[in-house]
Chain A
Amino acid sequence: AQSVTQPDIHITVSEGASLELRCNYSYGATPYLFWYVQSPGQGLQLLLKYFSGDTLVQGIKGFEAEFKRSQSSFNLRKPSVHWSDAAEYFCAVGGYSSASKIIFGSGTRLSIRP
């Protein structure tokens, strides 16, 4: 069965510190992988996506993610967080189909310590 696991419900990091949010997926074929961010009271904004090629993907706002097929992981990283990065982050997996549904993880809430 297709699934996405985000093992960390809530993470707090200090401003300026590095960040890694974990994501593991289960998918029967080569997946598309996404990270979305949701600021309080807002919809979801796409941070980055992987669908082929280089396994290290660069996104907006200084984020990057690395696809590791052997570990079924797609962890999100940022070298130095800013207070404005406080939000909820969702990992998602989809497939190669024109009517493909995307499966979302349960989210990781990120708080920033001043």
Chain B
Amino acid sequence: DVKVTQSSRYLVKRTGEKVFLECVQDMDHENMFWYRQDPGLGLRLIYFSYDVKMKEKGDIPEGYSVSREKKERFSLILESASTNQTSMYLCASSLGQGATEETQYFGPGTRLLVL
């Protein structure tokens, strides 16, 4: 079974703090994704990565950056947290490697509160 883990289930941070959200997958997947989930808006893609050190912006990248130094780990960084970044953050991974069918597997999520 694919396992995607996220470093924290709940986080409380103050406005202006630098925040790191970590995601690790254990299935040698090439693709990794960060989403945020807000009521009524579903999941919105922040960034994704299709290889080590490679990244692409998703639909809402503003205020976020990412890092992928190792294949299994994908970090989401909030350089200066703001209250409008209070949300549930979900990490996912998929096989990649030229696969034509791209099921994504999700971690349990990190609920971030910015005060």
Contacts and interface: CB of A to CB of B under 8 A. Distances in A.
Given A32-B101, A106-B40, A99 B96 contact: yes
Interface residues of B, number: 32
A97 B103 contact: no
A96 B102 CA distance: 8
Contacts of A102: 102, 104
B109 A49 contact: no
A42 interface: yes
Contacts of A51: 100-101
Contacts of B12: none
B90 A106 contact: no
Contacts of A105: 42
A17 interface: no
Interface residues of A, number: 25
Given A42-B109, A44-B90, A98 B102 contact: yes
A44 B106 contact: yes
Given A43-B90, A104-B42, A107-B42, A98 B98 contact: yes
- Which of B31, B48, B58, B100 counts the most chain A CB atoms within 10 A? B100
A72 interface: no
Contacts of A32: 101-102
Contact of B103 (A42, A46, A96, A104): A46
B64 interface: no
Interface of A: 9, 32, 34, 36, 41-46, 49, 51, 90, 94, 96-102, 104-107
13 contacts: A32-B101, A41-B111, A46-B103, A49-B101, A51-B100, A51-B101, A98-B50, A98-B99, A99-B50, A101-B33, A101-B48, A104-B35, A104-B43
Interface of B: 4, 9, 30-31, 33, 35, 40-43, 45, 48, 50, 56, 58, 90, 92, 96-109, 111
